[in-house]
Amino acid sequence: MTLLLFSVGVATVMVMVLWFAQRTGTPPQVCGQSQNPLKPNPVIESLATELSDVVLLRGNTEAFDKSIEGYWAQQEREVTQAAIVQPHNASELAKVVAFLRREYDMQCLHKEKQFDDVLFAIRGGGRSPVTGSASASGEVSVGVGCQWIDVSRILDEEGLNVVGGRSSESFQLPVDLTLTVYAEDICFFTPQFGLGCSNVLEYEVVLASGEIITATASSYPDISKALKGGSDNFCVVTRFTLRCFPSTDIWFGFIHAPGSQSTKALTAVHEAARRADSKMNGTDADPYAAGAITCFNYVQAMGIRVISVYLGYTKVPEISGQWPKSGYAKLWRYWSDFKIHSQTSASNVISSTSPAGQRWPFATTTIKNDLSTIMATYAIFDDSIATLPKIKGFFYTLNMQPLLPSWVKKGEPSIPGISESTSDALIIVSFSLRWDRAEDDSQVSNTIRKVIECIDAAATEKGISHPYRYLNYCANCQRPLEGYGEKNFNFLRDVSRAYDPDGLFQRGCRGGFKLESTI
């Protein structure tokens, strides 16, 4: 199998190129990728000859290994790679895309369009665990591949902010994630300004043809809109221009409580979403109240359940030490820590709970804000713990956070289309797990898939399900684009056909979430 992985950075646009030998039999796999030894590959040899100034081969161990360590999830670090290409600007990247397009066309021709082997994938900051993968006007230009910590630190110094990730590693803008991690980012400022993708004003992109264009609401508006949630089906993004706004410090912190407080915590999840929903509470929602992240953790090594809640408020309280309104104040806790933070330091707190270099998958579903369904979701999660054997280093978390249709409507028009399908507050239900050994991958994946299926069945039975899936948290087997609704899905399909009629980014590019099966 031939696989090439792009990675695009701020000062240096990085394109990673991976190659796998053809599979034989059914060897152990990580997310479906072969672990067979490498064979000489004419594509890599030709690439290294044609673009020698920007290609790193596997023999360059120090630089190659350093790049691999940039992946957050351990399973991504284990993927066998052949070469790394590091163009320094969009023009050099365009040459690489043109090279790949020629190779893709040749392989499609030889296989009579039955092209099953991916040619490349695209990486930026490396956060995704999916293998293969405004009070004032203003804007800031950000190169792809950035990590949020780098951007937020600079913006903090200028008293500015943008709508981006809450984790210090999560602001990554490649094509494997541009359109996943950044596309729909929910952050502290989402109740005020909307999703991350709705605050992108301009994209510099390289099309499948090798042409470099700038897509905005007035120039190439179709591809600009498609990039706001459409994953990596259209192009390679090399630069984003983001709407920014004046920013001050925020109130932020956490609660750690025993599992015995789960009923109170689940009730608080429901009440917090109601409080943010003007339709339900009869008054204007507080735009400074960030959506709470409520995490129900099972620590297998200690055999205990712990609840962690992360609360943020984007305006410093007028009275020092006074909490903004929150149902979570009722929880008995082991400890809590709330203080005034910069955006950077708050992001670092969240990031510290998910260290890099471990096996991390995601999976998600969505329910409406119904208390009985929220309770049933937790019960399904809790029951699944007993089905898992002793897995070394196992840590299992159910996360819940609100998403309001009114939030999604803010900013530039985007693809998710939640406000078109419901006016009800939604609860994003997601799972994050970590463990040590590759041999446990299959069991963990099967368990989480069954849990998602049970939650969906319970919600459907009560009429509380919703098709939307938060793309950033989806497992690679999920199809979030179909949850945007038929009209939006067809729009994405039409844009893909218009800008990439031969399917380079559909079938030649690994990673992201594809339209391919219905194109």
Amino acid 376: pLDDT:
97
pLDDT confidence band for 248 (50 / 70 / 90)? confident
User: Which of residues 283 and 207 earns the better pLDDT score?
Assistant: 207
| Spatial distance between the Cα atoms of 500 and 502, rounded to a whole number of angstroms | 6
pLDDT confidence band for 272 (50 / 70 / 90)? very high
Amino acid 403: pLDDT:
95
- For 309, the token pair is 């809640």
Give the tens place of pLDDT for each residue, 468-492.
999 888 988 899 999 999 999 999 9
Asked if 72 contacts 360 with a C-beta cutoff of 8 angstroms, the reply is yes
Range with top average pLDDT, 152-161, 262-271, 467-476: 262-271
| Spatial distance between the Cα atoms of 267 and 274, rounded to a whole number of angstroms | 11
> Stretch 371-376: mean pLDDT, rounded?
96
Amino acid 4: pLDDT:
40
Q: Is 115's pLDDT higher than 50?
A: no
Q: For residue 170, which of 128, 230, 200 has the smallest C-alpha distance?
A: 128
CB under 8 Å to 71, separation ≥6 — which residues? 77, 123, 126, 356
Asked if 229 contacts 413 with a C-beta cutoff of 8 angstroms, the reply is no
| Proportion of the chain in helix, strand, coil states, percent, rounded to 5 | 35, 25, 40
- For 437, the token pair is 């050994």
User: Which of residues 63 and 231 earns the better pLDDT score?
Assistant: 231
Q: Is 303's pLDDT higher than 70?
A: yes
Q: Residue written as tokens 């903090």?
A: 156
Q: Is 236's pLDDT higher than 60?
A: yes
Q: Is 135's pLDDT higher than 80?
A: no
Amino acid 328: pLDDT:
92
CB atoms under 10 Å from CB of 148, counted, come to: 29
All structural domains of the chain, each given as residue ranges with its CATH number in brackets, are 5-125+501-518 (no CATH), 139-247 (3.30.465.10), 250-341+362-474 (3.40.462.20)
Burial string for 204-215 (b: 16+ CB within 10 Å, else e) reads bbbbbbbebbeb
Amino acid 152: pLDDT:
78
Strands 509-510 and 120-123 turn out to be parallel
Amino acid 279: pLDDT:
73
Amino acid 434: pLDDT:
84
Range with top average pLDDT, 31-45, 152-166, 218-232, 342-356: 218-232
The dihedrals phi and psi of 298, each to the nearest 5 degrees, come to: -115, 120
User: Which of residues 235 and 69 earns the better pLDDT score?
Assistant: 235
| Spatial distance between the Cα atoms of 494 and 270, rounded to a whole number of angstroms | 38
